[in-house]
Structure 1
Amino acid sequence: MAPPAAGGTAGPVGPAGGDGRAVSPLDNPDGTKPGLAAITSAGDKAEARALIKKVATKGRGPKTGYARDEFGYAWMDSAPGGVPFSHNGCDSRNDLLKRDGEDVRFRGGSTCVVVSLTLHDPYTGRTIAWTKAHATKVQIDHVMPLSYDWQMGAAHWSKGKREDIANDPLNLIPVDGPTNGAKSDSGPASWLPPNQRIRCSYAVRVAQVSVKYDLPVTPSDKEAMLRQCGG
């Protein structure tokens, strides 16, 4: 695989936008608050490393048998494990657009279907003016990609647990579509957000999902995660 991305290679999405309303993952352990703000202080980076050190490791298994629908259809509102936003009458994609978007507008007569918004994309550090007519300009990233999850142990989970991780807001971030496509199913040793200032936050979010679901990462991915937070 290619080395981690080092700079803004995403397509044109507008001027730099900063963190917007984004919250540090250290202050957002259930993923219900917006965005992925940078972790900058020495104390917070030490807290981040302590969390990452809790992550278990193992080798990446085969992809045999993987299919997206093994994790339920995209996007659902019926994840069975009680993940935030589930069973609220709105599918998880729209939940995440509402969580992270600003100036959100809905389809007429709906409080669910988002038709336009402004997104401060954490992965590129840019601001995206998004409309549903150009839906793929913003995609919902699985921080721990579903194929990766499958190879690291989810192949042996119940269907319900797979549906949970696929729809858990802790594992979901709206981001620039082409950048999400470039990530594919890479772990942190092979891909990191082009926006270097949020790479520690990204590593923390991977660790939060890993610990919650008792899902290992590869040793090289854990090493890369620690490096992003000064370890």
Structure 2
Amino acid sequence: MGRVRTLLGCALLTAVAVGCTPVEEKPPGGERPVAGGKPGSALAAVEELTVKGRAPKTGYDRSRFGSPWADTDSNGCGTRDDILARDLEQARTENDCKVVAGKLAPDPYSGKDISFERGRSQVDIDHLVALSDAWQKGAQQWKPGKRIAFANDPLNLLAVGASVNRSKGDGDTATWLPPVKSYRCAYVAGQVAVKRKYGVWVTSAEQDAMRRVLDGCPEQALPVGNAPTVAPGRFHAD
């Protein structure tokens, strides 16, 4: 049934996605997790996501999502500085906007404290749902304004350590999770919230991986709005 569903998903893609191929549906080593979760939980929201096969990456370019770090909220600051100011401790700014120093304490992906210094930064702003992943799961069909909003939405952005973040690439929940296991529930909940908000679909393998993580924390709330994804003291290095 999972294979049939994937093939149907491929058939429904636009001409841009010609060549879509079904993905492996069944996770190695076991059966699919049982659906569940209370209303308002991230686990329950997983069941609301559309399931289709991954479309080709053809045509993807970062510029398809607008200039990096636009000022989409018209507060006079680029999105990168907004997120640094939100997520760093002891953030120091110039001209009421430009973040020049601070500390990521801790980095949610590695569990380490990382100092931030403008120009020599070891801190990245990660898209929880990578732009390339979104492109292959619906964003190629969006209007430019929606792609710009997606790329600059604080719900989809998190300050993290650069070295660990670059190992992620455009991985989804089925292919990459943060090394800090105690942060995985919050991380996956963030991805679910973003995909639900923008209508980005998931593969069957990805949905199964989301369930597996969130089955271990069924009370994990679905993030909303501009609230920081990281809750200090809620996770630790493993």
Deviates more, 1:165-174 or 1:221-230: 221-230
Question: Contact 1:118–1:127 (CA<8 Å) still a contact in 2?
Answer: yes
Question: Contact 2:38–2:44 (CA<8 Å) still a contact in 1?
Answer: no
1:57 aligns with 2:51: yes
CA deviation map 1:64-101 (0-9, x unaligned): 110000000111113xxxxxxx1110000000000011
1:25-174 matched pairs, under 5 angstroms:
47-78=41-72, 86-107=73-94, 110-119=95-104, 120-135=106-121, 137-174=122-159
Deviation of 1:47 after TM superposition, in Å, equals: 2.4
Deviation of 1:46 after TM superposition, in Å, equals: 9.0
Letter in 1 for 2:56: P
Letter in 2 for 1:100: D
Letter in 1 for 2:44: A
CA deviation map 1:9-49 (0-9, x unaligned): xxxxxxxxxxxxxxxxxxxxxxxxxxxxxxxxxx8899231
Note closer, same or farther for the CA distance 1:45–1:212 as it changes in structure 2 (3 Å cut): closer
Q: Which runs of 5+ in 2 are unaligned?
A: 1-36, 217-238
C-alpha separation in 1, matches of 2:173 and 2:195: 13
Deviation of 1:56 after TM superposition, in Å, equals: 1.6
Match of 1:230 among 195, 199, 215: 215
Deviation of 1:218 after TM superposition, in Å, equals: 1.2
Question: Contact 2:138–2:199 (CA<8 Å) still a contact in 1?
Answer: no
Normalising by structure 1, what TM-score? 0.74
Question: Contact 1:121–1:127 (CA<8 Å) still a contact in 2?
Answer: yes
Q: When the two structures are aligned, how many residues end up with a matched partner?
A: 179
C-alpha separation in 2, matches of 1:138 and 1:103: 15
| Superposition RMSD in Å | 1.7
Question: Contact 2:93–2:100 (CA<8 Å) still a contact in 1?
Answer: yes
Q: In the alignment, which residue of structure 2 is the partner of 1:200?
A: 185
C-alpha separation in 2, matches of 1:45 and 1:196: 24
Letter in 1 for 2:119: A
Letter in 1 for 2:78: D
C-alpha separation in 2, matches of 1:92 and 1:183: 21
Match of 1:191 among 168, 176, 189: 176
Deviation of 1:133 after TM superposition, in Å, equals: 2.7
Give the % identical residues. 43
Normalising by structure 2, what TM-score? 0.72
C-alpha separation in 1, matches of 2:71 and 2:90: 23
Letter in 1 for 2:59: G
1:176 aligns with 2:161: yes
1:221 aligns with 2:215: no
Q: 3-state SS of the aligned residue for 1:130?
A: strand
- Report which structure shows greater RCO (CA 8 Å, sep ≥6): 1
C-alpha separation in 2, matches of 1:153 and 1:230: 26
